[in-house]
A and B are shown apart, each in its own frame.
Chain A
Amino acid sequence: MVSEKKIALRNAEKYNPIKIDEYIKLGGYKNAQKALKMNPVDIVDLVIDARLRGRGGAGFSAGQKKKYTSEAICDRCIQKYIICNADEGEPGTFKDRVIMEQDPHILLEGMIIGAHAIGATKGFIYVRGEYTDSIYILGIAIEQAKQKGFLGKNIFNSGFDFDIELKLGAGSYLCGEELTLLESLEGKRGYPRIKPPFPAEKGLFGMPTLINNVETFAHIPYIIEYGADHYRTMGTENSPGTKIFTISGDVNKPGYYEVAMGTTLRELVYELAGGIKNNKKFKAAVLGGAAGTFVDETVLDTQMGFDTLKEKGAVLGSGAIMVMSEDRSIFDMTHSILKFFKHESCGKCVPCRIGTAQLMQLMKQTKENGTDRKVLLDQLLSEAEYMAKTSLCPLGQSPIMPIKSLKQYFENQF
């Protein structure tokens, strides 16, 4: 029987999130204090050594990202920024919400450590506007941390200044993409930027900026406390540590489960989430949200990790697992996913604006005229391929993922 292993959620449900003293009693903020006495370069090396990969979905090395930002040199740099991406909008994903609602201080602590590592004096948490509870709890947490002297001038009497501000999104999925998030933070429409330059070089207001996901920040205090070697004992070779999976859909116990990377899909679905509802058969799971992939039962015994899933033509993404029983229609699910992309396309670049509408049009035509669905799948694939090659940002490059996986796993059941 697989058991949960908690890093990001290790304090969850153990304290009242609006009482900082309870967090301190659990040993909270001692890792921030420890880190502030360390050389920033050593912190960066420690995170690189731990091989922590970004938990937002892309899986880029969190240590390397820190390194680039810490080494960034520019002519008119007044300051560096550190940003927490809490604009969690990927369908099927709610891990960041759980962290923010249950343990807001681990996020603040992770950001303090990160800020010291790269030399940022100002931090922002960009949280989506719909997460009213997270906004409320984070607001209190930041206020209490300021009163304790953990944020503001000369934090922990270390001579280091660092402050965090809460910024609200307003209902745009695209703003979860890091460059678009920067535009939104600057008070503009959420249109993506062309990269390079990357945020490490030219981010918020043109300054070097580090952007990490909530869950990524929540791993940092643990790495400071126990070291990189210990961290790497969990998970797989290329994806060490733990991951929160959010399981929803046709399972008996939907919810969030933090387990070591490398846990299989079968263990997650059948052991932790209690198997398929009403003893139905497993038909498919959508891994990683809308910008994710469909998989069938042949993937059940694959280890969940960034690279292991890639070998199967699937993605880990944000850790969303939407489970579909035998009664569900793959076609309908695809329809909702493509509708989602059409709605969230910002319209800045033509391939995505026209492409997402075209994909929906193809689906509609098939529904009305009853075109051969295999033909439809090929049409979708060629359209999505062209979008992936020509779109400006990850949104237009995403529809190829679910569509390609449909071709691989569900060509005959579409």
Chain B
Amino acid sequence: MDKSAIISKFEPQKDNMLNILHELQNSNPQNFLTTEDLKLVANYLNTTYSSVYGVVKYYSMFSVEPRGKYLIRICKSPLCNMVGDKSVLNDIKENIGIGIGETTDDLMFSVEASECLGHCAEAPVMMINEGVYKNLDSKKIKDIFQNIKLNHKNTD
């Protein structure tokens, strides 16, 4: 969908700022907001570019840098940390070769740390884009990434 079309779905009120930014970011296959996006939003909400930029930089779910098609958020809450320790991180690194804050060269995957994702009874957990993956162990993580890579190959 065209970016202006996404923005104009919302009323031009400041309280729609985060909702608009979310939709714009989700519409980008690389999961990030471009300078052009921020300018469009600033213009639409009758505010400055810098204030939109300030908002985007404050919230950890937004990015102004391109990210992988699959955005992985690892829960680093005290509980997941206790149950999962470093094993989840290591397993992910083994499968896709990157750690927290990194993106693969082919722009397929990005890994980020997230605070409590609210699935503590099924710790350790992670999210990949919209989906939540629970009770992670080495085998499960391997399967998850194998499936993603397979799906990707088939749709290419």
Chain A residues packing against B (C-beta within 8 Å): 88-94, 97, 124, 128-133, 166-173, 184-190, 204, 246-249, 254-256, 286, 290, 320, 322, 324, 328, 332-333, 336-337, 340, 343-344, 346
Contacts and interface: CB of A to CB of B under 8 A. Distances in A.
Contacts of A336: 76-78, 81-82
B117 A290 contact: no
Interface in B122-144: 122-123, 127, 130-132
B147 to A, nearest CB: 19
B58 A172 contact: yes
A171 B62 CA distance: 8
A91 B79 contact: yes
B18 interface: yes
Interface residues of B, number: 40
A246 B120 contact: yes
A173 B76 CA distance: 13
Interface of B: 14-19, 21-22, 45, 47, 51, 54-55, 58-62, 73, 76-79, 81-83, 114-123, 127, 130-132
29 contacts: A89-B115, A92-B116, A93-B118, A94-B119, A129-B59, A129-B61, A130-B114, A133-B132, A168-B19, A168-B22, A170-B59, A173-B115, A187-B14, A187-B17, A187-B18, A188-B17, A189-B54, A189-B58, A190-B59, A246-B121, A248-B123, A254-B121, A254-B123, A256-B121, A320-B120, A322-B78, A328-B82, A332-B81, A344-B115
B12 to A, nearest CB: 11
Contacts of B115: 89, 91, 171, 173, 340, 343-344
Given A89-B118, A167-B18, A188-B55, 5 more contacts: A168-B18, A189-B54, A190-B59, A254-B121, A336-B82
A187 B77 contact: no
Contacts, number: 133
B61 A130 contact: yes
Contacts of A172: 58-60
A35 B66 CA distance: 50
A187 B45 contact: yes
